Structure 1
């Protein structure tokens, strides 16, 4: 059974890699200084793999552990095509069948963050790390949950732990910056300046770091978004990232209308499994909440 699961996953990954090699960046539209992403298409191979998992799960010969693995992998596929409710159901089924399933706790915790169920999210990521203390992304995800749950001091610890495991990643540096900014803005800026030194100078997101440091303009960033991009998929993924962080930048400046538009642009990419896509809608909801409270 494990060999069958592996075969399905291998076939899916191979298909996705093949799709990503088609160079079509010229098909992306431009409006003013903004590039409009061509929404990422839903992979037919993902849909076929889901159908195959559906068939396998009807077998009465499966052990509980095998069934849990199948639910988890089908949940990941549901997430990748934007079917979040079905994904969450599969993760919960996996945990009922296999209560020590670290990966399933991590995945269901992400859904709790998106639903602003922060206590349940903390518990899910705590369970992940209790089962597997070396599960790197649980530090990221618990840190994000703590950040959105207004516990920035604790979030900083987790996000810094995740950042230290790869200090060349500009996005890890930015998440630590967001958490520090909530409780120590001066230190946040100093640490971000230090983090910039460990990032490759030709990485496009260096300009994103400079934007938050006040050393580059929004126009500077927008002008660099197509540099080094050779496929439509790569461009759509980059736009998802860029527009999310531009939304964060404008939200911090109090430009809520512009921030909301950028979060909507990030959502328009349909890059369902990116951190930036996952939390763009949460950011939109948080922008609306103060207005809703007044009304």
Structure 2
């Protein structure tokens, strides 16, 4: 799922766990899943970055104009996975134009990814103070609360986010991930109820079907290439599919398979998607949880 918004390899045996000091023959790994070629950097974004950099060197720009250019360049850096450069530009922008709500939104995401949850909450609160109609601030604050282990508060924000577009399967999925941390049985009932409003013609509705048990994992994997017309679309779909598969395995206690799927998410290079961003955080958290 984008933050503001075909080429299929043969099935292969995957073992994306890296080096381990104590390998076990009983460890289960992901097997027989489709792969895409990782997305290459968008050359148009790279050219745009160069142009923005040239403009920022001009001496006749107003402060607000510079702030907007830093924000625009920061978004481009972010889309290329250059998070440190993006964060530098976002901080420059907000110092020059403190009322630029969207900058706080991106800064909040970066604080979440750095596990700086207190700062993240402040950033999203500021977004909503500046623009109470900024719906993605509810998503991003809800996600920050989810990872900050405050699932009850997360469900409030994610419920508000879903209410703005009840037919969006991604919104349904994020609300479920938070609700299941509070009450798994009730979360499943709510997931079933929310599924009735989904557009079944949209591919993402199959994520909900998978979680409800209305579709097997084999069926889910088999249809991933349907309706895909190019490599970019396929990589984006795999980015989403593998994130929610990872969360499903994680909830079942099959951590190693979840790790493999999170790594597959990162392998798509779809840096702009929520799923790609938080797959990295998931792996960081899992590494922290590992016994020393």
Q: Scaled by the length of structure 1, what TM-score is found?
A: 0.89
Does the alignment pair 1:30 with 2:29? no
Does the Cα contact within 8 Å between 2:8 and 2:35 map onto a contact in 1?
A: no
Please list, as runs of the form range in 1=range in 2, the aligned pairs for 1:1-295 lying within 5 A after superposition. 25-31=6-12, 33-291=32-290, 294-295=291-292
Please list the CA deviations of residues 93-142 of structure 1 after superposition, one character each: whole Å capped at 9, or x if unmatched. Answer: 00110111100000111111111100000000000000111111100000
| Partner SS for 1:286 | helix
Partner of 2:16: none
For residues 190 and 67 of structure 1, what CA distance do their matches in structure 2 show? 49
Displacement, 1:39?
Answer: 0.7
Please list the CA deviations of residues 219-271 of structure 1 after superposition, one character each: whole Å capped at 9, or x if unmatched. Answer: 12101101111111111100000001100000000000000000000000000
Gapped regions of structure 1 (runs ≥ 5): 1-24
Displacement, 1:27?
Answer: 4.9
Root-mean-square deviation (CA, aligned residues, Å) is: 1.1
Displacement, 1:217?
Answer: 2.0
For residues 95 and 203 of structure 1, what CA distance do their matches in structure 2 show? 37
Tell me whether 244-253 or 223-232 shows the greater mean CA deviation. 223-232
For residues 71 and 30 of structure 1, what CA distance do their matches in structure 2 show? 43
Please list the CA deviations of residues 127-181 of structure 1 after superposition, one character each: whole Å capped at 9, or x if unmatched. Answer: 0000111111100000000000001001001011111111111110000001110
Displacement, 1:29?
Answer: 4.1
For residues 179 and 26 of structure 1, what CA distance do their matches in structure 2 show? 34
Does the Cα contact within 8 Å between 1:207 and 1:220 map onto a contact in 2?
A: no
Relative to structure 1, the CA distance from residue 27 to residue 224 in structure 2 (aligned partners, 3 Å threshold; closer, same or farther) is: closer
For residues 206 and 52 of structure 2, what CA distance do their matches in structure 1 show? 43
Count of matched residue positions in the alignment of Structure 1 and Structure 2: 269
For residues 7 and 79 of structure 2, what CA distance do their matches in structure 1 show? 25
| Partner SS for 1:167 | coil
Partner of 2:20: none
Gapped regions of structure 2 (runs ≥ 5): 1-5, 14-31
Q: Scaled by the length of structure 2, what TM-score is found?
A: 0.90
* Bigger helix share: 1
Displacement, 1:37?
Answer: 1.5
Partner of 1:14: none
Does 1 or 2 have the higher relative contact order (CA < 8 Å, sep 6+)?
Answer: 2
Tell me whether 55-64 or 257-266 shows the greater mean CA deviation. 55-64
